Structure 1
Amino acid sequence: MTRPWLGVVADDLTGAGDLADAVCEAGGSAIVVVGTPGAPPPDCDAAVVALKSRTAPRDRAVAESLAAGRWLVDAGCTTLYQKYCSTFDSTDDGNIGPVADALADLVAGDGTAPVSVGTPATPRVGRTVYQGHLFVGRQLLSESPLRDHPLTPMRDPDLVRVLGRQTAARVALVDRATVAAGPDRVATAIEAARRDGARHVLADAVGDDDLDTIAAALLRGPTRPLVGGAAGLAAALARARSGATAPASTPGPASGGSGAVASSSAPAGSEARASSSAPAGNDLPAARVVPVVPAGRRLILSGSCSARTREQVDTFPGPRIPLSPVDLDVDFAGAVAGVLAALDAAYRSVEEPVLVSSSADPAQVAEFEVRLGAGRSAELLEAATAEIAVRAVADLAVRRLLVAGGETSGAVVHGLGLGALRVGPAVGPGLPWMVPDPGPRLALLLKSGNFGDPDLFTTAWHRCP
């Protein structure tokens, strides 16, 4: 029996898949558990609990994260990991700090120091942290398109300051010079910060070698360290355990997300991520083998309003069906029925994928917020997209779904009643196809908003199980 060594509490579903993909690329095995789990996890190296807590009310986010953390500890995980976005998506009233506080208390219950250590840095896709400031490519976070995110606008690049507004605990920084000095210096700096009263420690990282240094320092620490970050640091932890070495960092597209660092997590001598361009089949490592999915129709559900997703929508050459929150507010059932009728008609005339999109630019999103009230647009669209997915699977023989957006993905998976997802072949960094196990035989690609090439909606299907 393989008990998981890495236990992950993820604040959304696409981030969970991103991190699970990173572990699989490092040669490990991972399972994504949807929602607060019950039964013990199956054999795997990493058990990843996917919550919908990034923008949830604080009390609920903390309670669900703590329940997931306890389950992971009880399952025998020796490293507890708080997964958040590589752009640290969280407002001043957000949940990264409160969840970190709660998980630190949980770890402290084991008699270890109540300190969390982490970084959202993902160097291979342009997410770097220097002097505590988060960069997206060459731009400070506050100058990137993330400043206008409809739910979590990021207008302060100083992560120590951002996290400090979410928790009463002290937040410290391990700077780049310390990281460059090696694991011993990092471990010493973390211990010094803890003794000085810090409960949360953030670290600079501008390259994958920095992540490896931080990971090595963490694995020398307490029996059950509490780590926070994007998929990049998780990949580094997997490398540290296996003795693999990250390839030299190369600049990546700023449009990527934390999952893209998974491309650096393969053990030395293994095939690179480029092998994902080959057809799915017997070339898959054991960790990525998933149950066979029967033939069926293909559906794209796009709810993300990120710049990259809007580009993917614009690039898609196939049939498109719009989904409007205004229409849903006037007549929810009628609007959903109209989309389903349009889907049925499209499938009768073409065999290619069909796109249902509610993606909008920042100005449109702001207009919807004013017209419908704060949060109403997102609430309507998530409920409608989930219902469309359920009806499309039940009535229109859809068996393969590509869903764009973390909140949208969570709504769809919860609507379908899925419990656990096996990680299958990836079409790109942080973009694995997954299959429910147990559950209906469906293939799902759950895409974070900024992930994927512009033509992803057309090219993703060649690796579909």
Structure 2
Amino acid sequence: MTGPWLGAVADDLTGACDLADAVSEAGGSAVVVVGHPTAPPPACDCVVVALKSRTAPGGQAVAESLAAARWLLDAGCTTLYQKYCSTFDSTDEGNIGPVADALVDLVGGADTIAVGTPATPRVGRTVYQGHLFVGRQLLSESPLRDHPLTPMRDPDLVRVLSRQAEGRVALVDWATVAAGPAAVIAAVEAARRDGARHVIVDALADGDLDTLATALLATPESGRLVGGAAGLAAALARVSGTVAGSPVAGSPVAGSPVAGAGPGGAVAARAVPVVPEGRRLILSGSCSARTREQVDGFSGPRVALSPVDLDTSFPATVDAVAAAVARAYRDTAGPVLVTSSADPEQVARYESRLGPGRAAALLEAATAQIARRAVDTLGVRRLLVAGGETSGAVVRALDLGTLRVGPAAGPGLPWMVPEGGPALALLFKSGNFGAPDLFDTAWRHCP
């Protein structure tokens, strides 16, 4: 059995799991490797390296992304993928653009071009005329405009990326995509000749992503870097078995049969180790509108976690929250929720009182400790963690390495099981993902 053909560098853990779930849904097998990998990857079609680089200092994000990319290329991955959020979460300083610039140089230098799209129609993310939509709303009119770390107030991705990246940013519009893979290839080549270094591609449906994937897989790997959210990665997995290494036919292959593995062949998708019975815990650190709705709708016991209390006395507050969780388990057989989710106004008050970034740092550290105690002393074996930064903190506290993709509780919401232990099932939820009742229903799908 050969190694992976698709290697992705993800800027956070929840996004890594989202991509792995999408590839699995398309019939491939995928694993997520947390942090800085050293050992060779396990057998699979797709390896996703989950970093914590979305809001890291630019130099750190670039260095970590390059290290992960080199490892993926050394592991034999023929397609390198830069995974960023389907809502293009970043600031005018980056980190999507600077990381893309560095990966372009790594892949092939001056003649290489980065081509991608955050469009992921299965979760309502589409791109038209270079503008990103969240459902029916422009990105700038969605709740993402008030994200506490990466407020997204410009929906024009060509403009956003131009402020971050070196070189010109071009657009391949939907009319070109609708004309088929050959038209996309011609448009990308024209952009390259005109000096573009990055290309954003429109996509309104999965068929558009299949068209783009067909075009990309028909071009030399050394001449392009692929980038995007989970949607384009799924399209690559869908079409890879029929077009990889073959001339492009000029039409999308959406709906064509998939053998269930990429060019390398691998183990079955969603094959995970058995997880023993145990208690269930929800740790919610996301402040997104959807997560707050999920917190409000949760039917079980909840324990609040306050950054102000943590700032006053961190150890005592962590002890008190852990004790409250233990008491709750005496009265319920269901999950218990620990939440620090807050609305934008409350987040602003925390920032004003504690200083920029202080509240988030305190909450991440405390949530990580609570997760570790819950697993070590309370018999918790199933954790649902809401929020990318919170998920990253928890996975580091639990010292998790390689995660396999299990059953999904919804699009982009796979249960993950560590390979080689500990015996846990974990769902790492991006802030805006999931149905309103997810905190009550996710357990039905747990391995």
TM-score, structure 1 normalization? 0.90
Matched, 1:342 2:341: no
Aligned-pair CA distance for 1:265: 9.1
Counterpart secondary structure, 2:422: coil
| Match of residue 360 from structure 1 | 342
The match for 2:307 is 325
Instruction: Give distance in 2, aligned partners of 1:291 and 1:106.
Output: 36
Which letter does structure 1 place at the counterpart of 2:79? T
Matches of 1:43 and 1:232, distance apart in 2: 23
TM-aligned CA deviation for residue 123 of structure 1: 2.1
2:132 maps to which of 128, 134, 146: 134
Q: What residue number does 2:18 align with?
A: 18
- Aligned with 2:18: secondary structure? helix
Distance 2:256 2:340 in 1: 40
1:179 aligned to 2:177?
yes
Query: Unmatched 5+ residue regions in structure 2?
Result: 244-252, 261-266
- The equivalent of 2:422 in structure 1 is 440
- The Cα offsets for residues 280-301 of structure 1, whole Å up to 9 and x where unpaired, read as xxxxx93212111111110000
RMSD between aligned residues: 1.7
SS in 2 for 1:32: strand
2:367 alignment partner, SS class: helix
Equivalent of 1:220 in 205, 215, 218: 218
Q: Give the C-alpha shift of residue 223 in structure 1.
A: 2.7
Q: Hey, what's the Cα distance between the residues in 2 that align with 1:265 and 1:233? A: 13
Question: In the alignment, which residue of structure 1 is the partner of 2:246?
Answer: none
Query: How far apart, in 2, do the equivalents of 1:347 and 1:392 lie?
Result: 11
Normalised TM-score (structure 2)? 0.94
Query: In structure 2, how many angstroms separate the alpha carbons of the residues matched to 1:114 and 1:269?
Result: 29
Counterpart of 2:164 in 1: which secondary structure?
Answer: coil
| Gaps in structure 1 of 5+ consecutive residues | 245-263, 272-284
Partner of 1:380: 362
Q: What letter matches 1:139 in structure 2?
A: Q
Quote the Cα distance in structure 2 between the aligned partners of 1:203 and 1:368: 39
Q: How many angstroms apart in 2 are the aligned matches of 1:399 and 1:171?
A: 46
C-alpha distance in structure 2 between counterparts of 1:270 and 1:29, whole Å? 12
Mapped to 1, the partners of 2:80 and 2:153 lie a distance apart of 29
Classify the secondary structure of the residue corresponding to 1:287: coil
Number of residue pairs matched by the alignment: 431
Q: Which runs of 4+ in 1 moved over 4 A?
A: 264-271
Correspondence for 2:371 among 385, 389, 395: 389
- Paired letter, 1:421: L
- Corresponding letter in the other structure for 1:230: A
Q: Which amino acid aligns with 2:391?
A: S
Q: CA deviation at 1:172?
A: 0.7
Distance 2:47 2:258 in 1: 26
Match of 1:67 in 2: 67
Residue of structure 2 equivalent to 1:86? 86
Change (3 A) 1:266 1:439: farther
What's 1:43 paired with?
Answer: 43
Q: 1:202 aligns with which of 195, 200, 203?
A: 200
Deviation string for 1:236-262 (max 9, x for gaps)? Answer: 111111349xxxxxxxxxxxxxxxxxx
Q: Is the 8 A contact 1:25 1:265 kept in 2?
A: no
In structure 2, C-alpha distance between the alignment counterparts of 1:265 and 1:146, rounded to whole Å: 31
The answer to whether the 8 A contact 2:83-2:227 is kept is: yes
SS in 1 for 2:320: helix
Q: Which residue of 2 aligns with 1:459?
A: 441
TM-aligned CA deviation for residue 267 of structure 1: 6.9
Paired residue secondary structure (2:428): strand
Which residue of structure 2 aligns with residue 230 of structure 1? Answer: 229
Change (3 A) 1:189 1:266: closer
Could you give the per-residue CA deviations for residues 62-89 of structure 1, whole angstroms, max 9, x where no partner exists?
Answer: 0000000000111111100000000000
Counterparts of 1:405 and 1:266 in 2: how far apart (Å)? 33
